[in-house]
Structure formats: C-alpha cells, structure tokens
Structure 1
Amino acid sequence: MRKVLVSACLMGRRVRYDGRAKPVGDDTVTRWREEGRLVVHCPEIAGGLPVPRPPAEIEPGADAADVLAGRARVLTPEGADVTDHFVSGAHSALATAQTHGVVLALLKESSPSCGLHVVYDGTFEGRKVPGEGVTAHLLREHGVAVFNENEVARAAERLRTLERG
C-alpha cells in the first residue's frame, strides 16, 4: 500500500506557529487514515521549533531553493534567523518520506515549510507571492508528488495512477 505524508496541522494537531491546527475535513483523507496510509509529520516541529512560536517567512526576493542552497534565510518579524530549523525540518520530512515509502505528500499551503504554490513575501504584511516552502521544494526535488489541502481530489487521482502502476 502506497503511503501519503501529511502535514500534522492538517490532521488536527496543534503544531502551527500560533498553536492552532488547520484540519482538513475530507472523506478521502479520512479513508486514507482508516487504511493506514498516512504518515503525519510537521517539519517545523521536527526541525526543533516550539509551539507557539513567532511566524517566519523566507526573506524577500528569495525562494526555497535559495534557502536550501544557503543563499537565503528564513526570518521571524524580529529578524531572528530560523533557517537551520526549516532546513533541518525539510530534511527530516524527506527522511521520513523515504523511510515509509511515501509517494505523495499533502501539505499546508502558504507555509514557509509546506507551501506549494504560494508563500508569504517575507515582509510580514500578509502578502503572498508565487513560490514553494522549503519542505515542499525538497520533497518535489526528490520525486515525491506534492499537493496542498485544496488538491485532495488531484492527490487521490495521482495515488490511483501510481497504484495501477
């Protein structure tokens, strides 16, 4: 059976920076849980960040590839550098995915770790820009199909395709 890595906050775990969860209420995800497919993971917690914690964003003008290559940082509004936590958490997510034979991931959009299509612009003014989070980028670069919480149907179709082989 193929496994799915899923952001812990989407499963109702209170691991977000603000101590909240963002549970995804979807029958497909419920079925995957019942089938034992889900591997629940929070890269930010795995990277050593506490709950709650200050919000963090990739610095303006940079992207996840820059962060992973050491050319950019992930910062809090006060300017604290939390890059190492995000990079470590991304590598932890990849190791978890590889250990469990994960073929796709369902991640929380807009997060500096898990965002797939958009992330905050680094100014802490609530503006989003096209881009990926550090974990989403690393997983994709290693062949894991990544989807956000609004793409469960597409993720399910991809899983069916992979299982048909």
Structure 2
Amino acid sequence: MTHKNDILNLRIPTKENPLRILMSACLAGLTCGYDGTANGEYPSALKLLKYDTIKIIKFCPEEFSFGTPREMCDIHGGTGYDVLNGKAKVLTETGKDWTEGMIKASEKMLEIAKNEGVELVILMDISAACGSQVIYSGNRFAENKVYQIGAGVSAAQLLNNGFKVISQRDFASLELLYSKIDPNHIAAENLKDHHETDWYKSYFKNQ
C-alpha cells in the first residue's frame, strides 16, 4: 500500500518534464471493461487528464490478454501475490483458468512502467488485475460474495518492483496529488483513502 508521504515526496512536475503516471485504462475513460464499458465514470481520475504537467500512460492488463468484451474473472485461493508465487489461480465466472494470461499481462504492465519511467500508478481497485487494497476472494457473483485485503495480479507485480500504487478510491492521496501538480488547487478536507473509510474498517475489523 502506498502511503500519503509517498505522494508528498513526488517531485513538482513541469510541462517540459511532466509527472509520469500509469493508469488503469478504464479510469481514463477507455471502454475496456469486461462488458465493453469503462466500468463507470471516475471524476477523481479523469481530472488528471486535463493537466499538461502530467503524462498519463493507459493500460488495461485484462484487455491485453483476453480482449474486450470478455468474461469476468477473480482470484481464487489467495491474492495477486499468491498468483505470482504459484499458490492461487485466476478463474473466470464459468471456471476457465486465466492464471497464465493474467501473469503475462502483469509482466507487460511492469515492462511499460519501467520503460516509461513511471513515478506513480493509479489503478482500479477491487479488480483481479488492478486492485491495490481490496479484491474479491473467489467469484464476485457468488450468492455470498467475500472481499479480502490484498492486491490484484498486476498491482502486486508493480508493488513487488517498488512502484507507488494508489486507487481511484484513495481520495485523500489524490487531493495531495492535485496539490502537488496544481499550485491553485485548494485541497478538500476530511477526505479519506479507501483503507480509512468506515466500510473498510467495519468489514475488515477482525483481520
């Protein structure tokens, strides 16, 4: 998990040397979700597209390996870290094993991050590929769906290699980022990152 101090320690970008951010493509509005949509609209992420002091690199790991549209998939038997270590699998809603494709996609995302000199990554939370704080434990369409603390496969790959990762739900961190790149930005108060919300604390209170 990336901490707020990691955001505060980012350099102040310029037009000549923009801050390089790798973003889940759906958060940037690309229609690469499993059902051919952008998985909704996320103003907190879309706002970053307007700054000329930021270079946004967009990538969808699942589209890379499986195309769009595609089945929904989730991690079974652990987290993205466990998938990378061969201890968990990625299965679709109909039981297809997509583990190998998800690992290949995570390796491609890591390659892009390294080649582009990425300084921050913003990913779609809860995704089996891009979740950075919360993911499903098993099939999200199960009658009694279960969440777990953990990262998706691509997020785990990036975190393992030292990249700073936040989600579109980390509103406090995003406010710090806006302030870093825009001297005229007035930071909103009382915003929280995902792991600081009442829902998160209540759901995971015994973990």
Contact 2:125 2:132 in 1 (8 A): yes
Report the CA distance between 1:152 and its aligned residue.
5.1
2:109/2:154 contact within 8 Å kept: yes
Give secondary structure in 2 for the equivalent of 1:137: helix
String of CA shifts for 1:93-116, please: whole Å, max 9, x gaps: 110011110011000010000001
Please point out which of 76, 80, 84 is paired with 1:68. 84
How far apart, CA to CA, are the structure 1 residues paired with 2:41 and 2:113?
Answer: 21
| Structure 1 outlier segments of 4+, above 3 Å | 155-161
Given the two structures, how large is their TM-score scaled by the length of structure 2? 0.70
Higher mean Cα deviation, 108-117 or 144-153?
144-153
Code of the aligned partner of 1:90: S
Q: Does 1:11 align with 2:28?
A: yes
Q: Which position in structure 2 is the counterpart of 1:38?
A: 56
Give CA deviations for 1:46-93 in whole Å, capped at 9, x if unaligned.
2x212111110101x311111011222100122100011111111111
Q: Which runs of 5+ in 2 are unaligned?
A: 1-17, 182-207
With over 3 angstroms needed to count, the CA separation of the structure-2 counterparts of 1:11 and 1:155, relative to structure 1, is same
**Aligned pairs for 1:27-106 within 5 A:** 28-32=47-51, 34-46=52-64, 48-59=65-76, 61-106=77-122
Deviation of residue 36 (structure 1)?
4.5
Q: Could you tell me the percent identity over the aligned residues? A: 30
Return 5+ residue gaps in structure 1 as ranges: none
In structure 2, C-alpha distance between the alignment counterparts of 1:71 and 1:132, rounded to whole Å:
14
CA offsets, 1:98-153, max 9 Å, x none? 11100110000100000011111113324322111011111111111100012255
Counterpart amino acid of residue 102 in structure 1: V
TM-score normalised according to structure 1 size: 0.86
Q: For 1:132-151, what aligned pairs fall within 5 Å after superposition?
A: 132-151=151-170
Amino acid paired to 2:116: H
Number of equivalent positions: 158
* 1:2/1:119 CA distance change after superposition, 3 Å: same
Distance 2:167 2:157 in 1: 15
- Which amino acid in 1 is paired with 2:74? E
CA drift of 1:158 comes to 6.0
Q: Which residue of 1 aligns with 2:37?
A: 20
Letter in 2 for 1:107: L
How far apart, in 1, do the equivalents of 2:70 and 2:127 lie? 14
Check the 8 A contact 2:136/2:148 in 1, yes or no: yes
1:128 and 2:151 matched: no
Q: 1:149 to 1:141 in 2, by over 3 A?
A: same
- 1:6/1:38 contact within 8 Å kept: yes
